[in-house]
Amino acid sequence: MSATVTVSNGRLEVTFGGLDRLWELKSQLSVPLAEVTDVDVLRPSDIGTGPFSKIYGKGAGPDHSSGVFKGADGTELWSVHGEEEVLVVKVADDKFSRLVLGVADPQAAADAIRRGSD
């Protein structure tokens, strides 16, 4: 598991553990739920990154990537380590366009984000 996701006080809170703190250059990330434009649960191989380049971090393909990458639609933060399904959060943010996160229960996290942003 790469990250822990909670929804609190109108914000999506992401906490990174282990070496992901190094690759993400942070241990936490907080995004206002008002900036979440879409949330989905996908297999990493189905995400479709298109042109993709590393800004910093480590990457060995869509199923093992951690760090910040430049995708076709903007800058993305990835924290994925072999999970079969991942949480994909699109945000209208000036820093990241998408968060791709390996979490213990991606569907429960997606449901919590949807409930929190209603």
Which residue, 95, 96, 62, is CA-closest to 79? Answer: 62
The reported pTM is: 0.85
Domain that holds residue 14: 3-116
User: How many domains, in total, are found in the chain?
Assistant: 1
pLDDT (tens digit per residue) in 72-116 = 778 888 888 888 999 999 999 778 999 999 999 999 999 999 998
Q: How many CA atoms lie within 13 A of 2 on its CB side?
A: 27
Q: Report phi then psi at 34, rounded to 5.
A: -65, -20
pLDDT (tens digit per residue) in 8-32 = 999 999 998 765 544 455 678 999 9
pLDDT (tens digit per residue) in 81-93 = 888 999 999 999 7
| Position 109, amino acid | A
pLDDT tier for residue 56 given thresholds of 50, 70 and 90: very low
Question: Among all chains, which residue has been given the structure tokens 């997606």?
Answer: 110
Q: Residue 93: its pLDDT value, please?
A: 74
